[in-house]
Structure 1
Amino acid sequence: MSEATAPEFRTVSLDAPIHRGETTIDSVQLRKPRSGELRGLSLVDLGQLKVDALTKLLPRISMPTITEAEVANMEPADLLACGAEIGGFLLQRSQRAAVLDQ
């Protein structure tokens, strides 16, 4: 996948929708984070899909914006799916190509 075709947004369908009042969120769109949105976070922690790091980052890059409390209440499978997409955002072009070629 070339940089020109690498998506800046990825949508994650949730197995367990988030309920916010009368609103049900059954998918979230994640935007590729910029360096400033990674402030206070460890790239190693994000790469290892550590829950604390994902809980801080997801509200910064999700549409609709989900809160830290909502992230903390997500089903583990949904959190892992979001983490996998974030991990893909953090790879360099050559690393993405190597992963896709396997």
Structure 2
Amino acid sequence: MAEVIQFDAPIKLESGQEVTEITITDTMKQVGALRGLKLYDVMTSDVDSLIKLLPRVTSPRLTERDVSQLPIPTFNALATGIANFLVPSSPPEMTDIADES
């Protein structure tokens, strides 16, 4: 499901549009969105990786320049939104392991 990230203050995009929210689209669920990127770097919110990834998965679509000029709290909110897509949707199964005595 897409995730809407709301900002405390509007940001102005390169297109001139001012926005108070950005949607991380379901495109983020597709492995193709990660092409050319290392999953570890995305999972650890590597700035360069997110500058490349966010334009692929946001609506309205951010440019790399837009992402590079975001205030840090706004960038952090988007990075958290990306991380939420990478969290497993269900907890790992618990297995009973017999004690060896």
Q: Which runs of 4+ in 1 moved over 6 A?
A: none
What are the Cα deviations for residues 59-102 of structure 1, in whole angstroms up to 9, with x where unaligned?
00100001000000001111111111111101212359xxxxxx
Question: Secondary structure in 1 aligned to 2:90?
Answer: helix
What are the Cα deviations for residues 45-64 of structure 1, in whole angstroms up to 9, with x where unaligned?
11111111111111001000
Aligned mates of 1:92, 1:54 — CA distance in 2: 20
- Go from structure 1 to structure 2 and tell me whether the alpha carbon gap of 1:75 and 1:16 turns closer, same or farther (over 3 Å shift): farther
| Residue type of the alignment partner of 1:48 | T
In percent, how many aligned pairs have the same letter? 31
1:10 corresponds to: 3
2:23 corresponds to: 29
* Structure richer in helix, relative to its length: 1
Taking only aligned residues, the RMSD between alpha carbons, in angstroms, comes to 1.8
TM-score by length of 2: 0.79
2:98 corresponds to: none
Aligned length: 89
Mean CA deviation greater in 17-26 or 69-78: 17-26
2:79 corresponds to: 83
> Any gaps of 5 or more consecutive residues in structure 2?
93-101
TM-score by length of 1: 0.78
Higher relative contact order (CA 8 A, sep 6+): 1
Larger radius of gyration: 2
1:3 corresponds to: none
